[in-house]
Amino acid sequence: MASLKEIKTRISSTKKTKQITKAMEMVSAAKLNKAQSKAGAFQPYTDKIREVVTSIAGGTEGLSHPMLEMRDKVKKTGYIVITSDRGLCGAYNSGLLRETVRLINERHASPDEYGIVVMGRIGRDFFKKRNMPIFQEITGLADQPDYNDIKNIASTTVEMFEDGVFDHVYIHYNHFVSAISQQVTETQLLPLTSFDTTGEAEKEPNNLEYIYEPNAESILEDLLPHYAESLIFGALLDGKASEFGARMSAMRSATDNADNMIDDLTLVYNRARQAAITQEINEIVGGAAAQG
């Protein structure tokens, strides 16, 4: 059985750990609020650019673009995987990476058939350890990233699709459901197949009629890459909110576990101390009886 000093030391160290996890929980909660606000503020931009692109792609007869067309033969698929740079966030990274590997193994027989664009140190180290092909990587992103932080990797990924390096591109990330719930999500980024290019798009009641200058084709040529990049950035903001929610929940659980451990150790300490006192009394009584 551990000595009283050892038990007391464990109680003290557990209390210090609890202080750290509690502080991390509060910091993550504050970052979560900021991340949610930023994701919410960016959404109107994505919605508006989607509205314009949909209007052009669905309302201009005979209009086509390589980013809108499915390719007959898919030679290589790209996967953009958004993970965190730090751990201590529960199953945030492990669940996402496990699902990504499962889908890759299910769809591809060889590493030549896919490539990975990874955001976050956890994901980068994971794929490197397994010798999986990483085409691009970015680490050290800010907790509240700006579009310029990922513009290069996003635009390069879109260019790789346009140049035929990738024939399909998917985004894998954790979608924010609530502070205690995140959903592993796969979204097809390219080709952009969610637009009606038949010229028979349904007109919404308040759908605006746009005047394009110089013409619809030029506008679409410029907007589609920006729209694809905005989807990547939106997924990153969503993933950041999920990360902070997962870390907040993990630190809350760690704090609760520390409380339970402190209670258990305190009970053990009190019992051991009572037993030690009882033993000392018995020894005193025994010694007095022997002298008398």
The reply to whether 290 falls in a domain is: no
What does DSSP say about strands 168-178 and 181-190: parallel, antiparallel, or unpaired? antiparallel
Terminal CA-to-CA distance of the chain, rounded, Å?
A: 34
The reply to whether 165 falls in a domain is: yes
Token match 């390719």: residue?
A: 71
Which run of H or of E encompasses 183? strand 181-190
CATH number of residue 152's parent domain: 3.40.1380.10
The reply to whether 9 falls in a domain is: no
The reply to whether 291 falls in a domain is: no
Q: Is the pLDDT of residue 69 over 50?
A: yes
Rounded (5°) CA angle 151-161-38: 30
Average pLDDT over residues 162-171: 94
Average pLDDT over residues 146-162: 92
pLDDT band at 62 (very low <50, low <70, confident <90, very high): low
Enclosing domain of residue 104: 26-249
The reply to whether 268 falls in a domain is: no
CA distances from 114 to 74, 101, 129, 170, 192 (A): 10, 12, 17, 11, 19
Nearest to 239 by CA among 24, 93, 102: 93
The reply to whether 270 falls in a domain is: no
- CA–chain centroid gap for 126, Å, is 15
Total domains in the fold of the chain: 1
Q: Which amino acid would we find at residue 147?
A: Y
Q: What is the pLDDT of residue 173?
A: 97
The reply to whether 275 falls in a domain is: no
Q: What is the pLDDT of residue 198?
A: 47
The reply to whether 6 falls in a domain is: no
Task: Considering only residues 195 and 54, tell me which one the structure prediction assigns the higher pLDDT.
Answer: 54
Q: Report the alpha-carbon distance of residue 60 to residue 197 in Å, rounded.
A: 8
* Lowest pLDDT segment from 11-15, 102-106, 276-280: 276-280
